[in-house]
Amino acid sequence: MVAMILLRALHKDFNRYNDPDNEDEAQEETGWKLVHADVFRTPKHHQMLSVYIGTGCQLLGMGLITLIFALLGFLSPANRGALLTAMLLLFVLMGSYGGFTTARLAKMFHSQSWRTVFLTGVHFPGQVFAIFFCLNLMLWGKAASNAVPFTTLFALIGLWFCVSIPLVFVGAVFGYKRPIIEHPLQVGQLPRHIPEQKWYLRPPVTVLLAGVIPFGAAFIELFFILSSLWLNKFYYVFGFLALVLVILSITCAEISIVMTYFALCYEDYVWWWRSFFISGSSGFHLFMYSIFYFATTLRITNFWSGMLYFGWMMVISYFFAVMTGTIGFLATFMFVRKIYSALKVD
């Protein structure tokens, strides 16, 4: 329904903008056509954007292949150690895909740098490992039997630096060798002034409110996944999970595209990071829901157990935010390129 409404609006826009006999268009003061010389302007912190999109593609590849193996029966939810090991190995192997994506974006932004590639290999895994190490230190301090030993930590670090990071660089080599992604329109020398936006179109408001929709698409399934993680229940309905993943991907793409389209119609061309955060803010809503789940469902009274719960939920929410944000960004990127490539500009 949303896609059909958007297509009708775009059809009307193209008829108005590309009609040579439409003299009223010369007097038009609003619309996404006016920002055609700025819409592809390189965003601020474009290196970190390339890093996050590369990492998001790496996570998406890991999750998709893991789900396919689970659907085919190669991974049993009863053996959680095998499932976690498979996810870890797939994340390491998908490093080449992450490096390739980062290199393609960095080359498009005219900022080819091996430092950006290195950040792809260490930024996100380093943050997750830091949280994991702090939680593990807490378990060591309490002499918990489920604390990860030093030998396993060294094995993880070796896998990270000796396999994952080299694969990221291998993927980046192929990415930098590919032709540069050319924009359909040239960028103007001077940035256009962005008019004052209404309060409901400002980035903080649109990001927080729009993120509720992707979270709502996966809300029911997240309840069962959290019950499997924290209430020692088994999760077997991977077929339904695949369906929810498709719905979540479509929702992330549509909400990012629609909100970006509205912003462009009001002459706000700063869309690169916005498209990532609009769908990625669903990770924030996931963490807020984890607080509600902790208060209403779990019966955890020990302080250190609560710290363990919120530490891992922070990691899971971060995973979710990067993956959904990447879906929203890639969909919006293709949408913006498509509509401006069909625009006739003098």
Please count the other Cβ atoms lying within 10 Å of the Cβ belonging to residue 70.
20
Helical residues (DSSP H) of the chain, grouped into ranges: 2-17, 46-71, 80-93, 95-108, 114-141, 150-159, 165-177, 203-210, 212-217, 219-230, 238-265, 272-280, 282-296, 303-341
The pLDDT score that the predictor gives to residue 24 is 53
The pLDDT score that the predictor gives to residue 2 is 61
The pLDDT score that the predictor gives to residue 17 is 60
The pLDDT score that the predictor gives to residue 22 is 57
Q: Which residues of the chain have pLDDT under 50?
A: 25-27, 29
Q: Give dist(CA 222, CA 199) in Å, integer.
A: 32
Reduced to 3 states, what is the DSSP secondary structure of residue 301? coil
The pLDDT score that the predictor gives to residue 121 is 93
